[in-house]
Amino acid sequence: MYVAAKGGEKAIRNAHALLAKRRRGNRNLPSISLAQIAQQLTLAVDRVMAEGSLYDVELAALAVKQARGDLIEAIFLIRAFRTTLPRFGYAQALDTAEMLVRRRVSATYKDLPGGQLLGPTFDYTHRLLDTSLGVADQANEVDDQAGESKTADDAAAPVSMPRVTDLLGQEGLIEGAPADDGSEPFDITRAPVSYPVDRSTRLQTLARGDEGYLLALGYSTQRGYGRSHPFVGEIRFGDVEVIFDAPELGFEVSLGTVQVTECQSVNQFKGTATTAPQFTRGYGLVFGQCERKALSMALVERALRWEELGEERGAPAQDEEFVLSHCDNVQATGFVEHLKLPHYVDFQAELDLVRRMRAEHEESRRAADMKEAAE
Amino acid sequence: MNAHAVGGMPEITYNFAYLDEQTKRMIRRAILKAIAVPGYQVPFAAREMPMPYGWGTGGVQVTAAVLGPDDVLKVIDQGADDTTNAVAIRGFFEKTARVATTTSAREATVIQTRHRIPETPLSENQILIYQVPIPEPLRFLEPRETETRQLHALAEYGLMHVKLYEDIARHGHIATTYAYPVEVAGRYVMDPSPIPKFDNPKLDNCPALQLFGAGREKRIYAIPPYTKVRSLDFEDHPFKVQRFAKPCALCAATGVYLDEVILDDKGGRMFVCSDTDYCNGRQEAGHRGEMAAPVGEGA
Q: What is the largest CA-CA distance in chain A?
A: 105
Q: With contact defined as beta carbons under 8 Å apart, do B273 and B256 qualify?
A: yes
List, for residues B12-32, the tens digit of each pLDDT value: 788 999 999 999 999 999 999
Structure confidence at residue A56 as a pLDDT band (50, 70, 90):
very high
Of A76, A83, A356, the CB nearest to B47: A83
Q: Average pLDDT, stretch A86-105?
A: 90
Task: Quote the pLDDT of residue B14.
Answer: 84
How many other C-beta atoms can be found within 10 angstroms of the C-beta atom of residue B117?
29
Partners of A2 on chain B (C-beta within 8 Å) are 249-250, 261, 263, 270, 272, 291-292
Q: Provide, rounded to the nearest whole percent, the portion of chain A with pLDDT above 90.
A: 63
| Per-residue b or e along A186-220, where b marks 16 or more CB atoms closer than 10 Å to that residue's CB | bebeeeebeeebeeebbbbbbbbbbbebbbebbeb
Q: Average pLDDT, stretch B34-55?
A: 95
Q: Which helix (H) or strand (E) holds B277?
A: helix B276-284
Contacts of B245 (CB under 8 A, 6+ apart): none
CA distance A161 to A236: 10
Report the mean per-residue pLDDT for chain B: 93
Q: Average pLDDT, stretch B49-71?
A: 96
Instruction: Exactly one of B39, B213, B281, B289 is catalytic; name it.
Output: B39
Is residue B289 annotated as part of the catalytic site, yes or no? no
Partners of A12 on chain B (C-beta within 8 Å) are 84, 87-88, 91
How far apart, in Å, are the Cα atoms of A333 and each of A80, A155, A325?
A: 14, 45, 13
Is it the case that residue A271 has pLDDT exceeding 80? no
CA distance A74 to A76: 5
On whether any CB of chain A is under 8 Å from the CB of B16, the answer is: no
Give the mutation candidate from A341, A357, A358 for the B interface (greatest B CB count, under 10 A).
A341
- DSSP 8-state symbol, A350: H
**Side chain identity, residue B79:** G
Of B87, B242, B291, the CB nearest to A12: B87
Is residue B279 annotated as part of the catalytic site, yes or no? yes
Residues A353, B173: C-beta atoms closer than 8 Å = yes
| HEC profile of A235-247 | EEEEEEEEEEEEC
Residues A344, B259: C-beta atoms closer than 8 Å = yes
Q: Average pLDDT, stretch A268-276?
A: 78
Comparing CA positions, the residue from A200, A238, A292, A201 lying closest to residue A119 is: A238
Is residue B273 annotated as part of the catalytic site, yes or no? yes
Task: Quote the pLDDT of residue A6.
Answer: 61
Of A12, A194, A337, the CB nearest to B43: A194
List, for residues B216-234, the tens digit of each pLDDT value: 999 999 999 999 999 999 9
Q: Provide, rounded to the nearest whole percent, the portion of chain B with pLDDT above 90.
A: 86
Is it the case that residue A154 has pLDDT exceeding 80? no
* Helix%, strand%, coil% for chain A, nearest 5: 45, 15, 40
Is it the case that residue B299 has pLDDT exceeding 50? no
Structure confidence at residue A187 as a pLDDT band (50, 70, 90):
very high
Structure confidence at residue A146 as a pLDDT band (50, 70, 90):
confident
* Helix%, strand%, coil% for chain B, nearest 5: 25, 20, 55
How many other C-beta atoms can be found within 10 angstroms of the C-beta atom of residue A42?
16
**Side chain identity, residue B234:** F
Q: Average pLDDT, stretch A119-146?
A: 81
On whether any CB of chain A is under 8 Å from the CB of B102, the answer is: no
Task: Quote the pLDDT of residue B293.
Answer: 77
> Counting every residue, how long is chain A?
375
3 state SS of B269: strand
CA-based nearest distance A374→chain B, Å? 26
Is it the case that residue A160 has pLDDT exceeding 80? no
The predicted complex's ipTM stands at 0.85
Residues B20, A190: C-beta atoms closer than 8 Å = no
Task: Quote the pLDDT of residue B3.
Answer: 47
Q: Average pLDDT, stretch A242-249?
A: 90
Instruction: Exactly one of B279, B281, B296, B298 is catalytic; name it.
Output: B279
Contacts of B185 (CB under 8 A, 6+ apart): B38, B39, B227, B228, B229
List, for residues A332-344, the tens digit of each pLDDT value: 999 999 999 989 8
Q: Which of residues 260-299 of B touch A (CB under 8 A)?
A: 260-261, 263, 270, 272, 274, 276, 291-293, 299
Residues B54, A195: C-beta atoms closer than 8 Å = no
Task: Quote the pLDDT of residue B298.
Answer: 45
Model's pTM, two decimal places?
0.89
CA-based nearest distance A174→chain B, Å? 32
Of A7, A336, A352, the CB nearest to B177: A352
> What's the CA dihedral at B157, B159, B164, B167 to 10 degrees?
180
Residues B57, A76: C-beta atoms closer than 8 Å = no
A162 vs B280 pLDDT, higher one: B280
Q: Average pLDDT, stretch A272-299?
A: 92
Task: Quote the pLDDT of residue B7.
Answer: 56
Residues B197, A349: C-beta atoms closer than 8 Å = yes
How far apart, in Å, are the Cα atoms of A166 and each of A141, A175, A264, A271, A281?
A: 41, 10, 10, 20, 11
Q: Average pLDDT, stretch B199-214?
A: 98
Report the mean per-residue pLDDT for chain A: 89
Q: With contact defined as beta carbons under 8 Å apart, do A81 and A60 qualify?
A: no
Pick from A145-149, A276-280, A368-372, B128-132 the range whose average pLDDT is largest: B128-132
Task: Quote the pLDDT of residue A152.
Answer: 46
Residues B274, A62: C-beta atoms closer than 8 Å = no
Partners of A8 on chain B (C-beta within 8 Å) are 82-84, 86-87
With CA atoms as reference, the chain B residue closest to A4 would be B299
A216 vs B299 pLDDT, higher one: A216
Of B78, B144, B249, the CB nearest to A345: B78
Instruction: Exactly one of B56, B58, B59, B251 is catalytic; name it.
Output: B251
